Amino acid sequence: MSAPLAERLRPQTLDDYIGQKHLLGKGSVLRRMIDSGRIPSIILWGPPGVGKTTLAHIISNTLDSKFYMLSAINSGVKDVREVIEKAKSNRFFDSAPPILFIDEIHRFSKSQQDSLLHAVETGIVTLIGATTENPSFEVIRPLLSRCQVYVLKSMDKSDLNELLHRAISTDIILKDLKIEVKETDALFRFSGGDARKLLNIIELVVAAEDGNSSIIVTDKNVTDRLQENPAAYDKDGEMHYDIISAFIKSIRGSDPDAAIYWLARMVAGGEDPKFIARRLVISAAEDIGLANPNALLLANACFDTLQKIGWPEGRIVLAEATIYLATSPKSNSAYLAIDNAIAKVNETGNLPVPLHLRNAPTSLMRELDYGKEYKYSHDYDNNFVKQDYMPKELKGNKFWDAQNNSAEVRMKELMDKLWGEK
């Protein structure tokens, strides 16, 4: 039985590697370091299927370094220490340090990460960590400070197209078939910038032809094949992003039953509970927002409680927060307001702060009228006085629009009462 297409096409050199030109193109920082034969410990942060593991292997081959690999899912402190001892014993004078590749390093506990520190700091190993999560949240600060972080991006259409044509023209099996690609929209859409998904879909479409030597790839037959076998292109936990997307969209859509179902899928699948809790905090701010400000307080309380009580009881806390958010009134007015304001900042640049709003800690600043004519709201009836708070170039601009929910209706009524037609 032959290896999967993704494995058969795994590149062996940087010149064969597709994508990540910002990191590996000629003259780029990481490429220069690899070509020089010495690299620091690094963390590769990016979504699944963009080549993190492949890049680690290529670096090891290029540097001619011993390669050790651990998965954070099934490795403990004992495994880390054993690998470090092997690395010490196999290190030859003046040779490049062995590479220790840790897949899903964000799943390592603090004690597991602590066990790496000395080996990384003293150069016993060069650490390459791979993560789909923001390392500033998941990697302890002492370890993070000893590593360079590089962000890998999802493949764009030109990368996917290059990979597609390499597969059908060079793969030992596919090159002997007559494969005509008439349409690529469905292929690229379903792959979502993930090289492994793309190759899995190609393999599925070819296998469905059941020995036909002439195969035509269209949007329709790709869609049909995936509807018949939806799990075929989601292997090794790659549904992580699809399920969290369904979870958040169910909360946003005020469907508590669907939200709980997707939560259960993540809990049963061993998803990191902190990952779920962080998404609940984001949803509380982005989707519930000012319609129910208590949602953000409860989501934060969920996150804190989860860290105190752990698993399995933490699933109940997540369920409570999920149902509360799903059944809360929704508003994205704060989300839209900050994006509108940022767009205006990008358009207008750094406009000067009006003199009456400036801080005046020195006599010179006071002489220059900093803070002069500022009206202190609490000196006036109802703790309010009309004055301009925006740069004069932006007078009359509005960034926040109240949405139709009871909380924001009350806010708007108060603002209308205070400001009138602003």
**Cβ pair 290, 411 in contact under 8 A:** yes
- What six digits make up the tokens of 218? 């269209």
Query: How buried is 386 (Cβ within 10 angstroms: 0-12 exposed, 13-18 middle, 19+ buried)?
Result: exposed
pLDDT for the residue numbered 370? 63
What is the per-residue pLDDT for 367?
61
> According to the model, what pLDDT value does residue 91 have?
66
pLDDT in tens, the chain (422 residues): 568 888 888 998 888 899 898 888 888 888 989 888 888 999 999 888 888 999 999 999 898 888 999 887 777 788 888 888 888 877 665 677 889 999 888 888 888 888 888 888 888 889 999 998 888 877 888 898 889 999 998 888 899 999 999 999 898 888 888 888 888 888 888 887 888 889 988 888 888 877 666 788 888 888 888 776 655 544 444 466 778 888 999 899 888 888 898 898 888 777 788 889 999 999 999 999 888 899 999 999 999 998 888 878 888 999 999 999 999 989 888 888 888 888 888 888 778 877 777 776 566 656 666 667 777 777 778 878 787 778 888 887 888 888 888 887 888 888 788 788 65
The pLDDT value recorded for residue 231 is 54
Specify the pLDDT at position 139: 86
Give me 35's structure tokens: 């070509």
pLDDT at residue 321, as a whole number: 92
Q: Supply the pTM of this predicted model.
A: 0.59
What pLDDT is attached to residue 205?
A: 86
pLDDT of residue 240: 65
Q: In the prediction, which pLDDT does 162 show?
A: 92
Q: CA-to-CA distance for 10 and 415, rounded, in angstroms?
A: 60
* pLDDT of 235: 40
Do 12 and 5 form a contact (C-beta atoms < 8 A)? no
User: How far, in Å, CA of 291 to CA of 296, rounded?
Assistant: 11
300-318 burial: b if 16+ Cβ within 10 Å, else e: bebbebbeeeeeeebbebb
Q: How many CA atoms lie within 13 A of 162 on its CB side?
A: 10
Please give the pLDDT value at position 303.
Answer: 92
Number of helices and strands (H, E) in the chain?
Answer: 20, 7
Nearest Cα to Cα of residue 13 among 31, 33, 39, 38: 31
Neighbours of 37 (CB within 10 A): 11
Give yes or no for a contact between 140 and 113, defined as CB atoms under 8 angstroms apart.
yes
DSSP 264-322: HHHHHTT--HHHHHHHHHHHIIIIIGGG-THHHHHHHHHHHHHHHH-TTTHHHHHHHHH
Q: How many CB atoms lie within 10 A of CB 176?
A: 9
3-state SS assignment for residue 236: coil
Distance (Å, rounded) from C-alpha 53 to C-alpha 104? 10
- Show Cβ contacts of residue 328 under 8 Å, excluding neighbours closer than 6 positions: 288, 291, 292, 295
Beta bridge partners of residue 148, listed in sequence order: 42
Tell me the C-alpha distance between 129 and 102, whole Å. 5
DSSP state of 350: S
- The residue whose two tokens read 């006085």 is 385
Query: Which pLDDT score, from 0 to 100, does residue 308 have?
Result: 84
Answer whether 278's CB lies under 8 Å from 303's CB.
yes
Helix axes 256-268, 240-252, angle to 10 degrees: 160
Q: How far apart are CA 37 and CA 60, in angstroms?
A: 10
List, in order of start, the domains of the chain with CATH numbers: 20-151 (3.40.50.300), 157-228 (1.10.8.60), 240-326 (1.20.272.10), 348-419 (1.10.3710)
Task: Outline where DSSP puts E strands in 359-406.
Answer: none
